[in-house]
Structure 1
C-alpha cells in the first residue's frame, strides 16, 4: 500500500527503451517535469509519448524531444515547439495528430477497459478517410500515412471508430498525494493528468505535497490510489519550479 519511492530516478529506472508513455499536462501546466528530467538523465530513448502537446523547446517533453529520445508522438496540439515542427517535417519523428476531445476519450477508454468507441468528431475528414501524414521522408514525401477508419451511421450521422490508448507507463504531477497513491490536482493542472494515470499499466506520480493516508478528504480525491503505483515526493524547490508558457501583463 505504501507506494513512495526515494527519488525520480528510482521511479523511472525500469522504463525501457521503446516504451509508450502517457504524460499529463496541458501546455506547461501540470507537467511532470521532474520525472521527465529523470528520463533525460537516464538516457531512455525511442519512446512513444501520448500527451496533449510536446512542451516547449527547453521545458517539459521538449527536453526529451531536443535530445532525440522520442520516436513517435500522439498529441492534439504542438504549435509552441519549433524543434517538434522541424523534426516532424524532416522525417525524424512520427506524429499522430488527434482531435483533443478524442484524445482525452481514447485515454479514458483505455483506463476503463473499453477497447474502442464511435465519435462524430472527424467524420467526413482525413481523420476518418486516412491519408494524414504521420511521418515524412527526408525528401518531403509522405512515408507513413494514417489508415482509414471504420465508419458507422448512428441517428443519421456518420461516426468514426477510435481505438483506446493503453500506455506502458503514465507520468503525472499532482498538487497533493498520500502514501497510498491517492492524488489531488489543483485547478487547471488537473487537465490530462487523471487520464494519463488511468490509461497506463504502471503510473508514476510526482507530488508537490506528500501527506499521510487519511489526511485527504475522499471527496477531494481526483485520482484514487488504485491507478497509481509509485509516488515521488518533490522538494520545495522542485515543487516551485514552474514555467509560464505565455506571460500576459498589462502596461
Structure 2
C-alpha cells in the first residue's frame, strides 16, 4: 500500500524552494488550496513563478503571496479583482503571461499528458499569436518584456483551411490543489465548481500536493466517481470540512412587500 498522507500543510510544502514554478488550482475563490498557500507564505518561499487562472484577491488565495511580494511571475487568464496585482504589474514588479482561458487549461492538460505542444485557433490574428503583449513594464510606462511571435500554420479541417497558432504545454515543479475528498492513495473527488482548474493543475505538476476536506481509506471511493487518479498526486493532507471558503461577490435580491 502506498500511503501518500502528510501530517501538516507545512510539512507538505517544506521542500518547495525559492524560484520554484507552481500550478495552483482554483477559479476565482472557488477551489483555492488555501491551507497550502498559507503554509507556503509562512515558510517564506519567494521568487515564485505561478500558473493559475487568476491570483485570488488582495487578502485571500494567491493574493496573500502576491501582497508579500513572493511572486515573480504569473501565468493567468484573468487578472481582475486584485488592486495589488494591478499595481505590481504596472510598476514593473511583476511579470504576467496573459493566456486565453481555454488555452491555459489545455496547456496544463497537455503538460500532464506528455504532449509538448498543440495548435489552436484561439488567438489567431491577435497579439497572442503576433506578439507584443506586455509581460513586464519598465515602471515608467514603457514595455520592458513583450510576448514573442508564435508559429502559425494553416491546416485543412473538414475541407476548409484554417490558421492555427502553436501553444507550448506547461509543466511545473509543483502543483497545489484542493479537493472535497481523497484517499490515502491520492485519488481525488472534487466538489462541483471547485473542480475547475484543480485536476489540470495537478496533472501539470511534477510533484502534486493535494489538500482534501475529507480523507478516506482506499476502496471507499467509488471508482466511477474519481475525478483524478492518484497517479498524479504525490502528497495529501486533510484540512477538514470547516475550512474557510470565501465568496468573491455576494449578490442579493430585494423583494418588496406584495411581490412574489
TM-score (norm 1): 0.98
Shift of 1:140: 1.5
CA distances 1:47-76 after superposition (whole Å, capped 9, x unpaired): 000000000000000000000000000000
Whether the aligned pair in 2 keeps the contact of 1:204 and 1:230 (CA below 8 Å) is yes
Kindly indicate whether the alpha-carbon contact (under 8 Å) linking 1:170 and 1:200 is maintained by their aligned counterparts in 2: yes
Residue 237 of structure 2 is aligned to residue 232 of structure 1: yes
- Gapped regions of structure 1 (runs ≥ 5): none
User: What TM-score do the two structures reach when normalised by structure 2?
Assistant: 0.95
Residue correspondences, number: 249
Within 1, Cα distance between the matches of 2:140 and 2:250?
38
CA distance in 2, matches of 1:115, 1:140: 35
CA distance in 1, matches of 2:124, 2:154: 10
Describe how 1:1-251 pairs up with structure 2 within 5 A.
Answer: 1-155=2-156, 156-238=161-243, 241-251=244-254
CA distance in structure 2 between the partners assigned to 1:159 and 1:30 by the alignment: 32
Two-structure CA RMSD over aligned residues (Å): 0.6
Runs of 4+ in 1 over 2 A off after TM superposition: 235-238
Contiguous gaps of at least 5 residues in structure 2: 255-260
| Aligned 8 A contact 1:91 1:140 in 2 | no
Listed one character per residue, the Cα deviations across residues 120-140 of structure 1 (whole Å, up to 9, x for unaligned) are 000011000001000000211
Report if the CA contact (8 A) 1:207-1:234 is conserved. Answer: yes
Highest CA radius of gyration, 1 or 2? 2
Structure-1 separation of matches of 2:109 and 2:65: 25
